[in-house]
Structure 1
Amino acid sequence: MLLHCPLPLRALAAAALACALGAQAQTLTPDASGAAAPRSYDLPAQPLGSVLARIGAGSGQQISIDAELVRGRTAPAVRGSYTPEQAARAALQGSGLELVRTGSGSWGLRVAAPAPAPAGTGAAARPAAPAPAQALAPVQVTAQAIVSPTTEQTGSYTTRALSIGKMEQSIRETPQSVTVVTRQQMDDQNLSTVEDVIAQTTGTSKSQRNYGAHVYMMRGYEIPDANYLIDGVAGGAYSPTGWVPMDTAIFDRVEVLRGAGALAVGAGDPSGVVNMVRKRPRADRHFDVAQSIGSWSHLRTEIDGGGTLNEAGTVRGRVVAAYTDRHSFIDLVHTRAPMLYGVIEADLGAGTKATAGYRHQQSDIDGYTIFGLPSYANGASLGLPRSTSLGQRWNRSDAQVDDVFGELEHRMGGDWVARLTLNRSKTTVDQTLGSARGAIDPDTLQGLRYTGNDFIARDIDATGLDASVTGSFQALGGTHKVMFGASWTQQDVLTRSASSGQSAPMDPWHFDHSRYPEPVAPAYDNGSQDRRQMLGLYGSGRLQLAERLHLHLGGRLNWYKFLSDDHYSGALLNEYRQNGQFTPYAGLVYDIDTRWSAYASYTSTFVPQSQYATVQGGRLKPAVGSNYEAGIKGELFERRLNVAVSVFNIKKRDVAVLDLGNEGLCPGLTTNDCYRNASVLRSKGLDIEMGGEIARGWQIAGGYTWLTTRDDEGSSLSTDTPRSLLRVSTSYALPGEWSAWTLGANLSAQSRAYVDTVQNPGHAVLDLRASYRINRNWSATLNIGNVTDKIYWAALGSARNGAYYGMPRHAMLTLRGSF
């Protein structure tokens, strides 16, 4: 049985240890041989998830159960004397699932591999297992087509299915480049924020901009907030890699699609789409805890528990809590970030499930600054220590997010599924900033100036609604999958600000963090109320043209509206819209054999430009980004490893440019200048990626990207994006008598990048880790980041706005318990 321990955040570590030790004391005593002793079972036929949960709870052995994988499956009666493992395997007879041991020592489930050829056909017979008190008859199991995209408890660096397009399909079946960062990879690398995850994703680079609301670039274009989805629904994320960091403790996986997101978002640059998939309740009772301590007083605690809430197993719940308290290698910076997430789901009837959840998260940062370290005007480094801060002691940035979601799912006949999802979030950001910036004259050593005190408040209300239907049908000798639906999002952003103080010169080498006392905030005197609305009707199909050939067709019809008013005067500041803009999607996938496929695809997105007028008095049509891609994908080693090689070519055409011959002749809301659709932006490149198990116990995830971009004049679209990028993470569980040890490494390497005159030379950063499984409940991991203590820029800005150093060598020790 599991102990139920209420856990206040301030006592997480001590309480978790007490609960874990208490739970461990209740585990089943092994017999003299070291194996769990048999016990008597008398379990009637019942839902598979319920009987597995009862076997695990009664024995103390953790069996990790994906609720979706066991949904609709019934276990036969289990009666007799068995070890827990034998009882679990008896319950799985005829289910199409098999029991597997995960890297943490617990048990998990997966779809069974096809049964071996029967005796007499030349196949070698397997040796018989020791018979229990009541012998089990051999059962032949046939693999089923349905697989779960859930990565938790699989120990894998890949997944067998994607959910980013709502129509679940494998990576090999998807005619676009996709990276999946799994739960195992996040745990191994201590990727505790979405920014950490994106930084480890193939083809991404960080860009210093938007006064601290830093963004990531992909394929030469920015990934905007609107391209961050939660469970496939837009509108729930605001500045997730900048002002409002999002904790990953609540996510099972992060799916990143590179290129234009024609179906998922429609509007935006053809960069990529990030889908963050929440953890859902499991059918087994579980309690997991992790306590970390690292460099610069970095403390983090995670607790994750839940399971079935009734005897029938039809109601399940889960609670995840995390608390981070860390100082930074940068002076003054201190972050406190509590997070609480709860979710409950219930089977309402045959094929119908309802889910509801809530998340509260804070990120309170003392010593926060919105500019990096300046350079000399010629771009040369000032040689400042990596710990240098240019903020005042009273600088701070406080963010808070409260979001709720609800989902209703109904499984109809066959594999048809209808789903309705609602997300609602409230975000606040409050900042008090004393800032300094400016390029330094190499002769006078002057140029850095204190720019005054800024007080900024943002209130963001966001709603996302999505309804979809997916399923398949047989026709013309083939199996065809279809998906269609509608989505609506609205985001209201109220921004208020005030400034005080005067400009004054500062010395970057002897910066005074207490030069100015904390000011009294004046009344806000500047502000705007912005509203963005997006309505989309979408649909797609995966049509089987021949046994090995599938055609993907679809598209999204988009309505976009933006409105901005002055918060104090009510004056209209900006307004534009785009009605009925269609973003098509098409792809062709040919199965070379059962493991390899070749594909080609076309997708598009658009950026509204109706805020600009032409000299003829009309409004500019949208800029359209078109993504052309072709490649080869493979599923190797019984689908435990995904590999892909792709080439891509992106054109963003009809981009607005200033009509120099008619300056000042088009009076409007934001400018009196005239514009025209003229510019074409281009990017092209190569992606090579691998994820999964390359040998028994050896996981790898990584990729290489080569990219080149240019505008009409031949200049790069984003010079802070390196031409070559390599991201690799690997983990190897040692065999034999060393099997308690797992070793791992991460390598990030890139070529030269620059912004104006500021250079970031090519460099490589190596991380190492070692994990030791103490027993079946506990493990300890030591992560050492930047082991060579490489000095490099993690994000570039101009000489005036500054750049950010990458983290020096650091270490973190994590103790994990699973019960």
Structure 2
Amino acid sequence: MRRATPFTPLPPRALRPTVLATALLLACAAPAVQAQASTISADAEVRSFDIPAQPLGVTLARIATEGGQTISIDAALVRGRASPAVQGRYTLQQAAQAALVGSGLELVRMANGSWGLRAAPAGKPASGAGTASGSDVSLGEVRVTAQGERSLATEHTGSYTTHALSIGKMPQSIRETPQSVTVVTRQQMEDQHLVAVEDVIAQTTGTSKSQRNYGAHVYTMRGYEIPDSNYLLDGVGGASYSPTGWVPMDTAILDRVEVLRGAGALVVGAGDPSGVVNMVRKRPRSEKHLEVAQSIGSWSNYRSEIDAGGPLNEAGTVRGRVVAAYTDRKYFYDLAHSKAPMLYGVIDADLGDSTKLTVGYRHEQVGIDGYAIFGLPSYTTGASLGLPRSTSLGQRWNRHDAKVDEVFAELEKHFAGDWVGKLTLNRNKTTVTQKLGMARGAVDPATNLGAYFLGTEFTDRDIDASGLDAHVSGSFQAWGGVHKLMFGTSWKQQDVFTQSFTAGQRIPIDLFHFNHDLIPEPATPVYDFGLKERSSLLGIYASARLQLADPLHLHLGGRFNWFKFRSNDHFTGALTNDYRQSGQFTPYAGLVYDLGPQWSVYASYTSTFEPQSQYANFEGQQLKPAIGANYEAGIKGELMDSRLNVALSVFNIKKRNVAVYDRDHEGLCPGITTNDCYRNASLLRSKGFDAEIGGRIARGWDVAAGYTYLSTRNAEGQSLASDAPRHLLRLSTSYTLPDAWSDWKIGASLAAQSNAYVDTVQNPGHAVLDLRAAYRINRQWTASLNIANVTDRVYWTAIGGTRNGSYYGAPRNATLTLRGTF
């Protein structure tokens, strides 16, 4: 294997704890590999199980995961069978036997030390206890060939990883995917109390937050901003608008979030080389269930959740699920108070043995009093003003309201073999309304002057978005190998209608004694600016995973893109922008070579294409599309019976003609999509490496962690994303105590990064530690306590230069959650 050129940067002093933590993190993989080489003789260990009645295959998979053993399952044997609830303290063998009661199957020991299933001999009680005596049994009829039919859902698995991804529409494991992918599971979201997609992205390997877009903050990855178009719902675009900013998405509806780093041609064909975020919705379950949660946190942070569902008819062919959440909270800074209700409903209906129809609806809204779109200014030198973390520059009457109503439908048809066709439609209506008093400005250290109240702004945005995707996937045998193929088409369209009114003022303000009642609340004015925009993207795509030899697979694919963008002045009807691109082709290719049953090496190439006609330069000219290439290579391991994934990758990205914010002409391009100017940079480069581990490294011990080194340069040799730190570490771990203490779970999270900057404003390297503990009170109830920023570290979560301001990270705070499962 060709080895990457070693790179050994000297870390800054602030990063030394981060580097040490990274070394310890990666060292955790060593005992996991060693443990994989020996048979885990822990079948006699007694532990607590609390598994509801559900499909038998799902129950057995969960028992195996929690018990740290392997149960080989033939999907044909368990299909259509259900298990009773498994609740109490059992060994793994006893728990599996309890799940098999009444199934007609029995548990048997296989020659390699793992467990298997077979039909119980005629006349034997269907108790699951028949031959599980510990003697070796040769099971010629047990075939472990049906992993593709296993549910991809992560809820109730207790895992920090997944056995397969759905982001590429062709299910395959992380090890089989020739790009870097992180999965944040349902369990990790609950453990860390990640209640918004923004919280999830902030915990993902290689991501950093940027202060941009007037409060609609974004995240960068590998030096590039993750655009809205790269946020997918169940693999389909066109359904999200500012999901990490103005219109936050609640994670209560999600089973998992899959994050692919780098160019998304492998997944969506076109787009930016930052990354792709696939948000996977919860779906109805085949058993009745009710789950409730109530949390109380610092600064009057209250949140309630309910998740209920099950079969809607006696035959179980129609299933439903309803998820509701309500958050009422204040913040650590002055004035701000938000209320956020959410409702999600979904129904699955089996239209025969091979066809399933899914329909769903989501309503979500947020209203924030005391909203401010700018952070805290600094001195003109870039030095911090040292303001209290509670400081806010909003007026008391400032207000932000956002609402989204979404419907979706999915029709899935199974054909002969493992061929599946799927048709998906997303449709949503989003509104964003803001009433703002704005203050910002750099402060002269000699006079303490320079910050001003700049006036008021009223803005309404109406967004209508639609997304459609149709694809077929399956496998076939040819040329001595098994190959997978997927092809389809997608379309998405977004209409944005923006109206606003701005009244400019320039009133000096005292930041050290800021007056939240400086300006009386103005009446809603008549809008004097209006813009209508329509963007649409049509794509035809195909991908294949070809088995060139037993250990070698070739990934090939590509997409043809047709893009249109048009905008008009609402009041005059004048055309302000009109652009189209036809038949743009974005190819990709990858090679995956299996070093054995657990390890693979890979290399991939991905082309990128990103329309940018919504931006204009200072001369009023539309920006050219950005094109580029993404190269990546690495090694991946799938260990501990696929319960642990590890990866090391190197990447090199080149991008030409990318839109770069023109700070020299800030706010001087009226009449285009925004009031800001942009320019085409000639060549941007991004390179670095990731090291990641996710899953179970030992019985009861789960880890999700990653370290990223990033270096970026523009044509002038400057960093193209200076607010993205060069070194990033994200680490989360949880451990269930053994034996009599198994009702307790403890955990910790660490987020560390090196220095970053915007202009002269620095964000020094820092590390933030969170701790948590959970106690299972009984079979139904669990209480947990999360303490964030336990050292009360003062740091910035995002910086925006001397004018746009920076945002403090939250001080030490605690959240107590009571969760019930029935």
TM-score (norm 2): 0.83
What code does the residue aligned with 2:736 have? Answer: A
1:194 match: 197
1:88 match: 99
1:138 match: 131
Q: Deviations over 1:697-729 (max 9, x none)?
A: 000001000000001110000100000000000
What code does the residue aligned with 1:593 have? Answer: G
Contact 2:100/2:127 (<8 A) preserved: no
Of 456, 470, 473, which residue of structure 2 is paired with 1:470?
A: 473
How far apart are 1:604 and its partner, in Å? Answer: 1.9
Contact 1:195/1:245 (<8 A) preserved: yes
1:381 match: 384
1:127 match: none
For 2:521 and 2:673, the matched residues in 1 are separated by: 35
Q: Deviations over 1:194-250 (max 9, x none)?
A: 000000000000000110111000000000000000000001000011110110000
Partner SS, residue 196 of structure 1: helix
2:81 match: 75
Contact 1:596/1:632 (<8 A) preserved: yes
Partner SS, residue 579 of structure 1: strand
Of 161, 166, 178, which residue of structure 1 is paired with 2:164?
A: 161
What code does the residue aligned with 1:116 have? Answer: M
For 1:77 and 1:385, the matched residues in 2 are separated by: 56
Matches within 5 A, 1:236-385: 236-385=239-388
Contact 2:354/2:414 (<8 A) preserved: yes
Contact 1:294/1:813 (<8 A) preserved: yes
2:749 match: 746
> Are the structure 2 counterparts of residues 118 and 195 from structure 1 closer, same or farther at C-alpha, using a change threshold of 3 Å?
closer
Partner SS, residue 239 of structure 2: coil
1:57 match: none
How far apart are 1:135 and its partner, in Å? Answer: 7.5
Of 557, 574, 593, which residue of structure 2 is paired with 1:571?
A: 574
> Are the structure 2 counterparts of residues 93 and 48 from structure 1 closer, same or farther at C-alpha, using a change threshold of 3 Å?
farther
For 1:293 and 1:519, the matched residues in 2 are separated by: 35
For 1:419 and 1:406, the matched residues in 2 are separated by: 10
Q: Deviations over 1:466-500 (max 9, x none)?
A: 00100000111110001000000000010000123
Does structure 1 residue 436 correspond to structure 2 residue 439? yes
Q: Deviations over 1:506-535 (max 9, x none)?
A: 100000001111110111110101111000
For 2:438 and 2:704, the matched residues in 1 are separated by: 40
**Count of residues in Structure 1 that have an aligned counterpart in Structure 2:** 723
Of 448, 454, 459, which residue of structure 2 is paired with 1:451?
A: 454
Root mean square deviation of aligned Cα: 3.2
1:787 match: 790
2:422 match: 419
For 1:598 and 1:51, the matched residues in 2 are separated by: 31
Q: Deviations over 1:339-391 (max 9, x none)?
A: 00000001001210000000000111111000000000001111100000001
For 1:574 and 1:465, the matched residues in 2 are separated by: 25
Contact 2:102/2:126 (<8 A) preserved: no
Q: Deviations over 1:652-706 (max 9, x none)?
A: 02447999xxxxxxxx9899xx999871100000100000000000000010000
How far apart are 1:75 and its partner, in Å? Answer: 3.2
> Are the structure 2 counterparts of residues 299 and 379 from structure 1 closer, same or farther at C-alpha, using a change threshold of 3 Å?
same
How far apart are 1:263 and its partner, in Å? Answer: 3.9
> Are the structure 2 counterparts of residues 658 and 505 from structure 1 closer, same or farther at C-alpha, using a change threshold of 3 Å?
closer
Contact 1:610/1:619 (<8 A) preserved: yes
2:210 match: 207
> Are the structure 2 counterparts of residues 72 and 603 from structure 1 closer, same or farther at C-alpha, using a change threshold of 3 Å?
farther
For 2:586 and 2:253, the matched residues in 1 are separated by: 32
Matches within 5 A, 1:111-150: 116-117=110-111, 136-138=129-131, 141-143=142-144, 144-146=146-148, 147-150=150-153
How far apart are 1:332 and its partner, in Å? Answer: 0.3
Q: Deviations over 1:613-669 (max 9, x none)?
A: 99xx9997632121100000000110000000000000002447999xxxxxxxx98
2:667 match: none
Of 604, 607, 610, which residue of structure 2 is paired with 1:607?
A: 610
For 1:136 and 1:150, the matched residues in 2 are separated by: 29
What code does the residue aligned with 1:594 have? Answer: P
Does structure 1 residue 493 correspond to structure 2 residue 504? no
> Are the structure 2 counterparts of residues 35 and 149 from structure 1 closer, same or farther at C-alpha, using a change threshold of 3 Å?
closer
Partner SS, residue 229 of structure 2: helix
For 1:402 and 1:808, the matched residues in 2 are separated by: 34
For 2:661 and 2:432, the matched residues in 1 are separated by: 35
2:765 match: 762
How far apart are 1:88 and its partner, in Å? Answer: 3.0
> Are the structure 2 counterparts of residues 89 and 227 from structure 1 closer, same or farther at C-alpha, using a change threshold of 3 Å?
same
For 1:380 and 1:583, the matched residues in 2 are separated by: 45
Q: Percent identity?
A: 68
For 1:415 and 1:298, the matched residues in 2 are separated by: 48
Contact 1:687/1:704 (<8 A) preserved: yes
For 1:605 and 1:755, the matched residues in 2 are separated by: 27
How far apart are 1:264 and its partner, in Å? Answer: 3.1
For 1:276 and 1:608, the matched residues in 2 are separated by: 24
Partner SS, residue 111 of structure 2: coil
Of 574, 581, 584, which residue of structure 1 is paired with 2:584?
A: 581
How far apart are 1:609 and its partner, in Å? Answer: 4.9
For 2:486 and 2:173, the matched residues in 1 are separated by: 15
How far apart are 1:117 and its partner, in Å? Answer: 1.1
Q: Deviations over 1:723-755 (max 9, x none)?
A: 000000000000011111100000000000000
Does structure 1 residue 710 correspond to structure 2 residue 721? no
> Are the structure 2 counterparts of residues 618 and 747 from structure 1 closer, same or farther at C-alpha, using a change threshold of 3 Å?
closer
Q: Deviations over 1:435-490 (max 9, x none)?
A: 10000011111011001111000000000000010000011111000100000000
Structure 2 gap segments, 5+ residues each: 1-45, 60-73, 85-93, 117-123, 133-138, 663-670
For 2:496 and 2:443, the matched residues in 1 are separated by: 36
Of 556, 559, 583, which residue of structure 2 is paired with 1:556?
A: 559
Contact 1:374/1:437 (<8 A) preserved: yes
> Are the structure 2 counterparts of residues 519 and 447 from structure 1 closer, same or farther at C-alpha, using a change threshold of 3 Å?
same
> Are the structure 2 counterparts of residues 720 and 638 from structure 1 closer, same or farther at C-alpha, using a change threshold of 3 Å?
same
> Are the structure 2 counterparts of residues 609 and 517 from structure 1 closer, same or farther at C-alpha, using a change threshold of 3 Å?
closer
For 2:441 and 2:700, the matched residues in 1 are separated by: 52
For 1:506 and 1:527, the matched residues in 2 are separated by: 31
Structure 1 gap segments, 5+ residues each: 1-32, 37-46, 54-67, 99-113, 124-130, 660-667
For 1:808 and 1:675, the matched residues in 2 are separated by: 36
Of 798, 814, 821, which residue of structure 2 is paired with 1:818?
A: 821
Contact 1:52/1:91 (<8 A) preserved: no
Of 645, 661, 671, which residue of structure 2 is paired with 1:642?
A: 645
Q: Deviations over 1:148-189 (max 9, x none)?
A: 321010000000000000000000000000000000000000
